[in-house]
Amino acid sequence: MNITQHIERGAKFFPDKIALIFEGQTYSYQELNQLANRVANSLVKLGIKSGDRVALFLPNIPEFIIAYLGILKIGAVVVSVSAMLKSDEVRFILNDSEAVAVITTESLRQQVPDDDLGFLKYVCIADFSETVNELTGNDISLSTLMTIASSDAQAISLEPTAPAAIVYTSGTTGFPKGATLSHGNVCSNMHSVKHSSGMNSEDKLLLFVPLFHCFGQNHVLNSGLNAGATIILQRRFNPEQVLEVVKTEGVTMFFGLPTVYYRLLEMGISKLDLKSIRYYFSAAAKMPVQLVRKWEESLGELIYEGYGLTETSPFACYNHDLEYKWGSIGVPIEDVEMKVVDEEGEELESGEVGELLVRGPNVMLGYWNRPEETKKVLRNGWFHTGDLGKMDEDGYFYIVDRLKDMINVSGFKVYPSEVERVILMHPGVSEAAVYGVKHQIKGEITAANVVLKLGKLLTVEDLRSFCSQRMATYKVPHLIRFVDSIPRNATGKVLKRVLCKQK
């Protein structure tokens, strides 16, 4: 088994079919496969072998897809690094994953540290479309390596349990943890997406959600290639560009977060603007029922909804290929089970609220090099999601709340302890408590209550700038309050619920 058998199958049976479109440039299935083969052979020449970790620190550009496929072909493990991360965050992930190489762009290269990287051997600059005039230190031009590499290769066959990708998610310790997904995990997920959505080789998929995120990487990219569809890649969501591309390329399947649909409705779009699209899908954040109803009223179309987490590859639950229910996340996808349990782990009856558990071929192998944290969430084959939910009498599930303190900012997960750790690095800060505040467009925004050290003066702008230099922009507190004290219970635990109710 190897995920990249999908691109090899496409190259064999429909070599001239367009696999990828990016800013006017097209790649056939054969061309995309050959470029991936060149990457694979280039990595082998560098001494990279099956099981080695290779990081992708790239935005939504063709180089991500080409490098991703090339890495997997040789059995190496892709480490997805958010293109929004800053130097300290990148250093942590590279060291934690023990990545031997990182593939990045010239502009992102400045966020790759030059020191304290115990395993990294190669920094590869992947500007295929540009001439890299000067490379510093041990940096390598991947395009130069590819030029002299063969375009012939074949994906090595692996066990379904072989690691394929490490996708980092926020951790309870304040540091990210890598959800390790196997080839079997991803293959099962892409087949389920194809089945649930009716995705086929005639479809044209618009992909602007981040490729470093499971949603873009597995649900859209891998599923699309598996179906033999055409991927229309965009760097990011830009409403005007989206409408233009839908019109010129005849997009048939649309994938976005709730914020995307909100923005489009705000623009006053009509069915005519998106007439080629037959299918709309939302994931990564809870979809408000009123937004779905408004979309149907305005365009006469439903927005199908999926539920899952990075740890479930991510697809786990779907609303729905047969019967749609308002406000529900649907029912488990094929070969996947879900249930609701109480604090003792006992299964609850329909209508009762408890923690959602997931079991199936989509559930990760575990957290990379985190056996204790893995044991906490994987028990007897069941993944404990940390989400509170319920099931109705028809077996449809509903999200109620979260057990975890995780903040969901436009689909990006922020763990408070991670932000608190950075704030507390400031010499003028004594205490910090980070929490989520509901936001109409983003779902939630990050807020922080901060206690300063005696005699220290600090402005909101100063602290926000301090954070911006050390973490991704979406993690930086949108709202900062300087307070005299932080509410705690008798054992000293911060009362986050009290903070969330502040006006």
CB within 8 Å of 12: residues ≥ 6 apart? none
Architecture of the 5-14+26-158 domain = 3-Layer(aba) Sandwich (3.40)
Both tokens assigned to 228: 């033999």
**Gyration radius of the chain's alpha carbons:** 23
CA distances, 44 to each of 49, 73, 158 (Å): 6, 11, 17
For 124-160, what is each residue's pLDDT tens digit? 999 765 444 456 567 999 999 999 999 999 999 999 9
Specify the DSSP class assigned to residue 349: P
Q: What is the pLDDT of residue 137?
A: 63
Residues 407-500: name the CATH superfamily.
ANL, C-terminal domain (3.30.300.30)
pLDDT over threshold 80, residue 491: no
Decide whether 5-14+26-158 matches 407-500 in CATH topology: no
Give the span between the Cα atoms of 5 and 181, in whole angstroms.
17
Give the span between the Cα atoms of 400 and 137, in whole angstroms.
52
Domain residue extents for the chain:
5-14+26-158, 185-402, 407-500
> How buried is 278 (Cβ within 10 angstroms: 0-12 exposed, 13-18 middle, 19+ buried)?
middle
Q: Residue range 90-97: average pLDDT? A: 97
Predicted structure pTM score: 0.88
CA angle 445, 397, 295 (to 5 degrees): 60
For 1-15, what is each residue's pLDDT tens digit? 999 999 999 999 999
For 374-401, what is each residue's pLDDT tens digit? 999 999 999 999 998 999 999 999 988 7
Give the span between the Cα atoms of 295 and 287, in whole angstroms.
12
**262-265: long-range pairs with CB below 8 Å, 24+:** 262/291, 262/440, 262/441, 263/237, 263/239, 263/441, 264/239, 265/291, 265/294, 265/295, 265/298
**Are 264 and 206 a contacting pair, CB within 8 Å?**
no
For 279-323, what is each residue's pLDDT tens digit? 999 998 888 888 999 999 999 999 999 999 999 999 999 998 889
Task: Name the pLDDT band for 173 (thresholds 50, 70, 90).
Answer: low
Q: Residue range 356-382: average pLDDT? A: 96
Residues 185-402: name the CATH superfamily.
ANL, N-terminal domain (3.40.50.12780)
